[in-house]
Amino acid sequence: MIDSNLELDQYPQVSNRGVIQLVPKQLYADWFNYTRNDGVNYTLNNLETISFLTHDFDTRMEFNDWLETNFQLLFEIRLSYACNDKCQWPENRAFTVFKSWFDIIHSDLILDLLTEPIKVI
């Protein structure tokens, strides 16, 4: 249960992490449906967003530089959650393809609404 008795500015802020969310776009959904081939038509409404904890960046430019250097890892993690068969992954996994398959949302402001510590598995 979330403690709603706290004032809005009293929720602890995570100070050494940022979050990146990869929100699927239609091109990803099309590929996902092709690889699944299970008769179900997955739509953008039922494809999960994956969130990654990362550095907190001082500027948007720092984040953009980091993303251009590290997008391949994010792309491959996202593809592996959908399909283990790397032969079905797109051959062209360039940065432009990554950006055409996902909306990329980044935030350095993370508030923890829960009192128990974060559990790493």
Every domain of the chain and the residues it spans: 17-111
For 9-64, the pLDDT digits (tens) are: 666 566 788 899 999 999 999 999 999 888 888 999 999 999 999 988 989 999 99
pLDDT at 2 over 60: no
What pTM did the predictor assign?
0.82
List b or e across 22-43, with b for residues whose CB sees 16 or more CB atoms inside 10 angstroms.
bbbeeebbebbbeeeeeeeebe
Are the beta carbons of 32 and 82 closer than 8 angstroms?
A: yes
